[in-house]
Structure 1
């Protein structure tokens, strides 16, 4: 059973830096201006605290945070947390060259063990992550679109832009990025979408090394997944809390009010 998670926490936070709605505290405004979404103050904690606590609830015992070379604030925060349920380490991504490069940066920290990969600015449901931990092959957690809209803080128009995952008897057929209106209609309301939650075998590192930059000049984890011969899809009906922009902060804070963090 998988017990390691790689959390992509280096993101530049370009959308978070933009002005948006919401009455932010000075601490939240400072975090938004820095682009450190995972360190956004949410109630008495930081977003990453809720994420790590949920990972621990699912069965994760070791978390590797992929961060920038200048990650002193992250290191201080983890030291203050003094976690008992999790071993927390860091992997440095030297340059922000995409999600596949971020995963590749964690190779030495992970070693030859399987792991789950999640975004640092999302809070995933425990049951979905727990199901990923039981997978013995590279697996994409596919969120049913209707349930995702119902149980998340993500508006339907934003979800409509997410990649559609097509599978046949659980085997990945295609990941359709930026679907058109016609493709969305053809896929139907319960189409599976990707929220960047995967169970990976060590083979992913070689796949990350083989791919070329995408049209936007980044090494994309979706391209590395496409390069693998056998990828499974695990359908899941549930929600994800997303903290991509300032407008998200109030709703995320409301939904996490009273949620206990145990690290």
Structure 2
């Protein structure tokens, strides 16, 4: 599993936090991937980490919470997905393996994909989905029979609209391909080039089109969309305190130690442990992390990371707010705001 990217599209959040640990419905994206892997029956995971390794190791631990045995593999720089395979060579040995990108979100898991690979055992199996802008992804070209005949990483002129989803299954044959690679124009060892090498060597590369939901949570828009999707299946639960002057509508989770006072919360919404909501409105598809304070404000379709405070603000919507952020009232500014705030930010907003 790869969790070594720098997350430039989620700046400024990722200046101080690992992008794979940005939460969806108050749970890190990386955890959903680890759970999907564990559901297949796989027990050993090599987790490729980079500069944020300490944060990721603290969050994941030895993997036992997921039913996994996790070995950490340090990548000194984000030099490409195939480079992740290269540094994992000793860990992988001569076993078949799944490569899963830690910032990808797939609804429905990967059990069917793993079962198909085990039954047919091609040199590689890739998962594809149609996208609106294939120039942002690795793109597959298929022949009339649906066989993979070519791959290209972020092409200027895509030959199809079929993008590679961040899950790949390989036989040990891929190690020879990776060993032959040279850095691309991006200075990286591209996994698309390794798969192309297998194709040109006459090996069988199979593909299937994803039937469920997939997102690369590399930007704020996609993070908010995935958060919305997960909250859609929320089961209401009140483990904290809600006073009689408050109104909860729909599917709302109030985690232990959280307090809601004189406020209206319209679900699906999750309020994290120890968070206090006072004299405020929290709208649908919002996740508020643990230890936050929201007073005299309106919050809608947003993600707020732990230990942040929002006080006296007219309205915040479609926003991603980092750890330990302070948002307070100012004057003569718009009533609605869209924010992407890194950890330890301090912002004044008009009432």
Q: Aligning the two structures, in what range does the TM-score lie when normalised by the shorter sequence? A: 0.7 to 0.9
Match of 1:59 in 2: 41
What displacement does 1:174 show? 0.9
C-alpha change, 1:121 and 1:259, in structure 2 (3 Å) is farther
| Residues 1:206 and 2:176 aligned together | yes
How far does residue 220 in structure 1 lie from its aligned partner after superposition?
0.8
Does the Cα contact within 8 Å between 2:37 and 2:110 map onto a contact in 1?
A: no
* Structure 1 match to 2:30: 48
- CA gap 1:82/1:253 in 2 versus in 1, 3 angstroms: same
List aligned pairs for 1:122-161, cutoff 5 A.
122-126=104-108, 128-135=110-117, 136-145=121-130, 156=132, 158-159=133-134, 161=136
Q: 1:196 and 2:166 equivalent?
A: yes
Does 2:121 match 1:175?
A: no
The aligned residue for residue 207 of structure 2 is: 234
Pairwise CA RMSD of aligned residues? Answer: 2.7
> Which residue of structure 2 lines up, in the alignment, with residue 103 of structure 1?
85
Counterpart of 1:217 in 2: which secondary structure?
Answer: coil
CA distance in 1, matches of 2:155, 2:52: 36
CA distance in 2, matches of 1:50, 1:44: 11
**Residue 254 (structure 1) shift:** 1.8
Change (3 A) 1:57 1:209: same
The 2-side partners of 1:141 and 1:175 are apart by: 11
Question: Corresponding residue for 1:17?
Answer: 11
SS of 1:94's partner is coil
How many Å separate the matches in 1 of 2:24 and 2:16?
16
Q: In 1, Cα distance between the equivalents of 2:5 and 2:153? A: 20
> Which consecutive residues of structure 2, in runs of 5 or more, have no partner in the other structure?
236-351
Aligned length: 226
Structure 1 stretches of 4+ moved >4 Å: none
Structure 1 stretches of 5 or more lacking a match? 1-6, 19-28, 150-155
> CA deviation digits over 1:177-224, x for unaligned, max 9?
44566x56xx4xxx5321232111112122111111101111111111
Give the Cα separation in 2 of the matches to 1:124 and 1:80.
Answer: 23
Distance in 1 separating the partners of 2:113 and 2:102: 19
Please say if residues 138 and 231 of structure 1, whose CA atoms lie closer than 8 Å, have aligned partners that are also in contact: yes
1:75 & 1:176 partners in 2: Cα distance?
Answer: 33
Give SS of 2:61's match: helix
The answer on 1:92 being equivalent to 2:74 is yes
Query: Which has more radius of gyration?
Result: 2
Query: Aligned partners of 2:48, 2:137: CA distance in 1, in Å?
Result: 23
Q: Distance in 2 between matches of 1:99 and 1:15?
A: 17
- Which of 116, 137, 141 aligns to 1:162? It is 137
Question: Which SS does the other structure have where 1:131 is aligned?
Answer: helix
Q: How high is the TM-score relative to the length of structure 1?
A: 0.75
Q: 1:114 aligns with which of 96, 99, 112?
A: 96
